[in-house]
Amino acid sequence: MAPVPDILSDNFFEVIIVGGGTCGLAVAARLCENTPAAVFTDDEHQRFHWLRQRNGRQMKNGKRQYESASQLKPHEILVLDAVADRFMGQWDAQFGACQIPHLRSPMFFHPDPGNIDAMVAWAHQTGRESELKEIPNVVGRELSKHQQKRMRRKSSSASRTSSHDRPGIVDVNMREWRDYYRPSTPFFCDFCQSLVQRYNLGDCVRKDEVVSICYGDVHIFDKGMHETGFIMTTSSGKIYAAKVCVVASGHRGRINFPLPVLRPVLDQVDKGMQSFLDHTCHTTHIFSGAVRFPPAAVEKRISQGTPAHLVIVGGGLTSAQLAHVACMRGIPTTLLLRGPEKIKHFDFHLDWVTKYKNVKKASFYQLDSDYERLQLMADAREGGSVNPEYHMLLKKHCAAGRLSMLKYTTIDAAEMVDGRWKLRLKTAKLSTSDEVKPCTSDTSILSSDMNSVTSDMNSFTSEMAEKIEALNIEYVSSDISSTQSSENVSLDETGAEDDDTESWLSADYVCCATGVSPDIEGLEFMRPILNEFPIDVVGGFPCLTEHLQWNENLPLYMVGKNASLRIGPTSANLDGARLGAERVGWKIQNDRRGASNSLDTRLEMAANNMNWYNVLQEA
């Protein structure tokens, strides 16, 4: 039996949140919010306030009912983040490395628990409407009747299941012709900072990496108390404890790196010459600061006037963003995609966020098994994709000779000659229809005006530049002047015309934007919990309860990507952060007050899931 640790009362909290990203901020704000409204419509929010007004009324049976939620105070919450002593540290590092001017998500994806339109209201309140970028041809009157008729007539060639995304026009609420907008990076960071100030969460975050979480008894020796809770050991050697733990660790899991074909070469390099990070890296190395982008080895060759070449592997938005940054720096780049180029506004189909999103989510929630949910998530996300903005930017770079995109291409073999990669590529035979694969429900996105799509990349205002500089995000010059052309790329093709084509490519550096696979069992800090409290795992995701709890008896919650089997395809995005925070917030406040029936009744009625005559029956 493990000894009971002794800690100070200053290190014991009601709730500890592991991770200070958007999910961690959403949970912390939700726990401090007494009137949540992020998942309610205006009418439902009005009902919620009506129920709260009955808080102090005396019922006929002499009992008070419908008590207010038991919100937490900021000093009762601790957020442990491995990157920074503030919220959004990893977020800022990633956006700075990829030099992202605008978010991919629309305005109603945010961590504010008080109002789903909070970011729109904040833009008008602060007079920063100019920093919002419209997403054309999603919803709105700019979609002409002729375009609508053409898409309505588009027939489906394959059979569809009841939960499959429908082709053609996306259903939107005709009563609300509100166009979708995307916030700028400085705008979103300032908005999140306003949440931190509103809920007084600035002092809740401490920079320290959690290396172990276990559950048991703890002795608070300065108060002579014994409590049961989570004991967390950090990399600095400190020990913290809390009654409740929420894991919001972001996209941590099994890194898809190095590529199997590169591993033997890297083993030889690491044994003899220098670190393998001088030759190849994963995007996680860039975001953590272990590798600078563009890589120092490539920039050194460029500065010396020596031919250099960068290879980026991956078909998602991050690979496109890094390719754009490299091309803007004058580095000849090759982008390898193992499949087609998929173009979508968001990571998932529009049907998951528009008028009939509840139908999509209901089809997800009603599935019989987590294996079916896993398959539906894969169908909804369809792997990596780029939005129309970066698709147009990549097309411009290809036309200018700065970028070469090789689709349906994988690295078949690799060797290192004189410190440079020599890669044997294998390209599958392409058909004309496979050149570009837009989302089935986003067929109109390529009709956007090319100049308007790229305008924000080339026309920052001085005010935005100052805000970017304040965030330590260094954007490259918008003047695209390649010091070298793609003629330096050595690409020797072999093979028959009707078969897969093999070619050799010389490169100075290989950057893998191949993502991170979910793997809850691979998280070392979760090892004690996994050993003591086993849980079913499907596709690397834990099978949590509907409240995102580890099990009914263990007050451990998970939000973000690890809650995907309960939230759905949007779980890893800002939308999932808000929805996950709502579920966790309800449960934690419910357990703290110890009167679950009252809160469940209020929430059921606020969501219009319960007969209102039940209130009269209890009165």
Residue 169 lies in a domain: no
Assess whether 119 and 242 both reside in one domain.
yes
Greatest Cα-to-Cα distance within the chain, rounded to the nearest angstrom: 88
Confidence of residue 604 (pLDDT cuts 50, 70, 90): low
Assess whether 208 and 306 both reside in one domain.
no
Phi, psi of 198, rounded to the nearest 5 degrees: -65, -40
Instruction: Give the CA distances from residue 140 to residues 131, 174, 355, 560, in Å, rounded to whole numbers and listed in that order.
Output: 19, 9, 13, 30
* Mean pLDDT on 259-287: 75
Structure tokens at 14: 């009601």
Assess whether 26 and 116 both reside in one domain.
yes
* Mean pLDDT on 366-381: 91
Q: What is the pLDDT of residue 174?
A: 41
pLDDT in tens, 341-372: 999 888 887 778 776 778 888 889 889 899 99
Structural domains counted in the chain: 2
Assess whether 422 and 499 both reside in one domain.
yes
Q: What is the pLDDT of residue 500?
A: 76
* Mean pLDDT on 110-131: 91
Q: In this predicted model, which residue has the larger pLDDT, 504 or 153?
A: 504
Assess whether 116 and 225 both reside in one domain.
yes
**What letter represents residue 540's amino acid?**
G
Which residues have C-beta within 8 Å of that of residue 294, sequence separation ≥ 6? 310, 325, 326, 329, 331
User: 515, 535, 556: which is the final residue of a domain?
Assistant: 515
- Of 6-10, 299-303, 512-516, 519-523, the range with the lowest mean pLDDT is 299-303
The answer, as to whether pTM is greater than 0.95, is no
Q: Is the pLDDT of residue 52 over 70?
A: no
Tokens 């709890």 belong to 549
Q: Please, what is the average pLDDT of the chain?
A: 79
CA 408 to the chain's CA centroid = 26
pLDDT in tens, 529-582: 999 999 999 999 999 999 999 999 999 999 999 999 999 998 999 989 999 999
Q: Is the pLDDT of residue 271 over 80?
A: no
* Mean pLDDT on 492-513: 75
Residue 375 lies in a domain: no
Q: Which helix (H) or strand (E) holds 605?
A: helix 596-606
Residue 240 lies in a domain: yes
Q: Which of 136-145, 222-231, 341-350 has the highest mean pLDDT?
A: 222-231
pLDDT in tens, 163-210: 444 444 444 444 444 557 899 999 999 999 999 999 999 999 999 999
Exposure string of 543-571, with b = 16+ CB inside 10 Å and e = fewer, is bbeeebbbeeebbbbbbbbbbbbbbbbbb
Structure tokens at 140: 């709105």
Contacts of 118-126 with C-beta under 8 Å, sequence gap 24+, read: 118/191, 119/183, 119/188, 119/191, 120/181, 122/191, 122/194, 123/183, 123/187, 126/190
Q: What is the pLDDT of residue 47?
A: 61
Residue 596 lies in a domain: yes
pLDDT in tens, 433-446: 455 554 444 444 44
Confidence of residue 260 (pLDDT cuts 50, 70, 90): confident
Q: Is the pLDDT of residue 487 over 50?
A: no
For residue 216, the enclosing domain spans 6-134+183-253+518-618
Nearest C-alpha neighbor of 457 from the set 472, 468, 445: 468
3-state SS, residue 415 = strand
Residue 14 lies in a domain: yes
Assess whether 549 and 507 both reside in one domain.
no
Confidence of residue 41 (pLDDT cuts 50, 70, 90): low
Assess whether 400 and 507 both reside in one domain.
yes
Assess whether 503 and 565 both reside in one domain.
no
Q: What is the pLDDT of residue 450?
A: 46
Assess whether 103 and 119 both reside in one domain.
yes
Assess whether 412 and 494 both reside in one domain.
yes
Residue 312 lies in a domain: yes
Three-state SS string across 490-551, please? CEEEECCCCCCEEEEEEECEEEECCCEECCHHHCHHHHHHHHHCCCCEECCEECCCCCCEEE
Residue 92 lies in a domain: yes
The counts of H helices and E strands in the chain are 20, 26
Instruction: Give the CA distances from residue 405 to residues 323, 395, 409, 419, 568, in Å, rounded to whole numbers and listed in that order.
Output: 10, 9, 9, 24, 32
Q: In this predicted model, which residue has the larger pLDDT, 465 or 360?
A: 360
Residue 555 lies in a domain: yes
CB-based contact 182:135 (threshold 8 Å) = yes
Instruction: Give the CA distances from residue 243 to residues 17, 41, 324, 413, 540, in Å, rounded to whole numbers and listed in that order.
Output: 11, 33, 46, 52, 27
Assess whether 262 and 247 both reside in one domain.
no
Q: What is the CATH number of the domain that holds 338?
A: 3.50.50.60
Assess whether 122 and 40 both reside in one domain.
yes
H helices of 153-230, in order, are 185-198
User: 515, 532, 564: which is the final residue of a domain?
Assistant: 515
Nearest C-alpha neighbor of 197 from the set 80, 108, 103, 112: 112
Phi, psi of 582, rounded to the nearest 5 degrees: -65, -45
* Mean pLDDT on 250-262: 83
